[in-house]
Amino acid sequence: AQTIHQWPVAEIKAVGSPLSLGCTIKGKSSPNLYWYWQATGGTLQQLFYSITVGQVESVVQLNLSASRPKDDQFILSTEKLLLSHSGFYLCAWSLMGNERLFFGHGTKLSVL
């Protein structure tokens, strides 16, 4: 069975501090991977996607970056957090372009 794991579950960080969020998918090889962001009370906004190791495309950067160091791993990071980075970050995967998205449980980020 496929599993998607995001870490951490929640973070409270100071403005200007660095951030690294992780996502691991087990049970599927070469998935498409995505990072979504959801502001409190806001809609889902796709940030990045990756269809293969080492390749990441940016949709909306928001002063964030993403990397895919392994086939099953997707990392979201920034060197300096902004207040506007607060929200809910969701990792998701799919196998093909017309397949459903499977979301992880998300990371709630509070920037103070």
Partner 1 sequence: GDSVTQTEGLVTLTEGLPVMLNCTYQTIYSNPFLFWYVQHLNESPRLLLKSFTDNKRTEHQGFHATLHKSSSSFHLQKSSAQLSDSALYYCARLAHNTNTGKLTFGDGTVLTVKP
**Which residues lie near partner 1 (CB under 8 A)?**
32, 34, 43-46, 49, 51, 57, 59, 90, 94, 96-101, 103-106
To the nearest whole angstrom, how small is the minimum distance from the Cβ of residue 97 to partner 1? 4
- The edge-to-edge listing of strands for the beta sheet with 73-78 is 3-7, 19-26, 73-78, 65-70
To the nearest whole angstrom, how small is the minimum distance from the Cβ of residue 48 to partner 1? 11
Considering the complex, state which of residue 57 and residue 79 has its C-beta at the smaller distance from partner 1.
57
Considering the complex, state which of residue 9 and residue 14 has its C-beta at the smaller distance from partner 1.
9
Query: Cβ contacts of residue 104 below 8 Å, gap of 6+?
Result: 4, 5, 6, 23, 90, 91, 92
